[in-house]
């Protein structure tokens, strides 16, 4: 595999750093990590395999992540070589990528599902297009490329090597000419789950009929030790479940050992999100539902009879 001399990595979300790091380790001979936080965050970056750690300082509640774009860009420019900047494809990550792209005159690619380096050192990137119906492939020919990674793009996460050291460089904050000042922060109510890491997931769709039927399916999820997810209409149209539980091409991509879809028809946009499941079980009253084309096991029937029967089978 071709590699670049250096890859830069940053994630404001601690949970996403290992995944972005493994991409950096695969694509670069050397990995430089920007860290926003204290000594623990610096040590973790080193433990994950960083060759250099560029310390942006302690977190400042008055600054948003994009405010560090100029500080990062100056450090990258000082290296004066072809390189790649990797960020998670979150809202903050994409906003930061845009600012870095402008400052570095770099090509920017969002939601990459796969990355390669060709013989000329150009970054090739693939992502889902047309709502997951096809895969688009593009090449970034600028000297520096900025890419945001879709969740789950790199699955083999690096093991943390406690006590590993890395060269640490402390950066002085460079304020943007026109900054954005944070006046207040309010916590967003959301689930404390990570569907992407769950080993068992039950997904529900419009076919469950009513919100009241969720209670029965929640009991089933608890009984089998599964996390509960949903199709897009359940989260965004009906609003029966939190947005964080939406599984699909523009939601969460999951890779459980077992995925059970209850009342989900099997549209491609949803199935792209569950494609890496080891086993798929479908429950639907429509025997012609597309979901059965993807399922390893299928049950045709009324969920009001099937779910109670499944619950009874797990009792005792």
To the question of whether residue 91 is assigned a binding role by annotation, the answer is: no
* Residue 178 counted as an annotated binding residue: no
Determine whether the annotation assigns residue 64 to a binding site.
no
- Residue 123 CB partners (closer than 8 Å, separation 6+): 4, 84, 107, 109, 115, 116, 117, 139, 140, 145, 147
Per the CB < 8 A criterion, the answer to whether 107 and 101 are in contact is: yes
State yes or no: 105 annotated in a binding site: no
Tokens at 16, concatenated:
């996403």
How far apart are alpha carbons 290 and 10 in whole angstroms? 40
304 is in an annotated binding site: no
The response to whether 213 counts as a known ligand-binding position is: no
User: Does 266 appear as a known binding residue?
Assistant: yes
Looking only at the bridges linking them, the beta strands covering 52-55 and 134-140 are unpaired
Tokens 């089998």 -> residue: 224
Residue 293, annotated as binding a ligand:
no
- For every residue of 202-231, DSSP letters joined together read EEE-GGG-STTHHHHHHHHHHHHT-EEEE-
Question: Strand pairing partners for 227?
Answer: 201
d(CA 305, CA 297): 18
Q: Is 55 annotated as a binding residue?
A: no
| 302 annotated as ligand-binding | yes
Using CA atoms, how far residue 42 sits from 36, 45, 49, in Å, is 8, 5, 11
Structure tokens at 248: 């699909």
Question: Kind of pairing, strands 83-88 and 52-55?
Answer: unpaired
303 annotated ligand binder = yes
Q: What is the Cα–Cα distance from 267 to 21, expressed in whole angstroms?
A: 32
Does 269 show up as a binding residue in the annotation? yes
Q: Which residues make beta-bridge pairs with 228?
A: 202
Question: Is 219 annotated to bind ligand?
Answer: no
* C-alpha–C-alpha distance, residues 283 and 204, integer Å: 10
Structure tokens at 94: 């994409």
Which residues line the annotated binding site?
A: 231-232, 263-270, 284, 302-303
Which residues line the annotated binding site for FAD?
A: 231-232, 263-270, 284, 302-303
């Amino acid at each position: 595999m071709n590699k670049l001399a250096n890859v830069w990595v940053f994630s404001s979300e601690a949970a996403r750093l290992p995944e972005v790091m493994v991409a950096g380790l695969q694509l670069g001979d050397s990995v430089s990590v920007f860290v926003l936080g204290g000594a623990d965050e610096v040590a973790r970056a080193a433990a994950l395999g960083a060759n250099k750690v560029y310390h942006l300082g302690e977190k400042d509640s008055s600054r948003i992540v994009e405010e560090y774009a100029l500080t990062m860009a100056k450090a990258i420019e000082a290296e004066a070589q072809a390189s790649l900047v990797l960020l998670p494809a979150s809202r903050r990550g994409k906003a930061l990528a845009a600012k870095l792209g402008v400052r570095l005159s770099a090509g920017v690619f969002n939601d990459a599902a796969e990355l390669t380096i060709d013989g000329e050192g150009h970054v090739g990137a693939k992502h889902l297009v047309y709502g997951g119906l096809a895969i688009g492939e593009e090449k970034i020919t600028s000297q520096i490329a900025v890419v945001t990674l879709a969740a789950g793009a790199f699955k083999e996460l690096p093991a943390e090597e406690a006590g590993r050291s890395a060269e640490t460089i402390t950066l002085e904050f460079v304020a943007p000419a026109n900054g954005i000042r944070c006046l207040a922060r309010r916590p967003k109510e959301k689930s404390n789950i990570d569907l992407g890491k769950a080993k068992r997931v039950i997904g529900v769709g419009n076919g469950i009929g009513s919100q009241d039927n969720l209670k029965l399916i929640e009991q089933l999820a608890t009984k089998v030790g599964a996390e509960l997810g949903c199709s897009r209409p359940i989260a965004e149209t009906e609003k029966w479940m939190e947005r964080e539980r939406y599984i699909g091409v523009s939601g969460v991509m999951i890779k459980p050992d077992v995925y059970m879809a209850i009342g989900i028809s099997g549209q491609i946009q949803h199935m792209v999100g569950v494609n890496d499941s080891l086993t798929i079980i479908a429950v639907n009253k429509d025997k012609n539902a597309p979901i059965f084309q993807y399922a390893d096991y299928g049950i045709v029937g009324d969920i009001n009879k099937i779910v109670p029967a499944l619950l009874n089978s797990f009792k005792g």
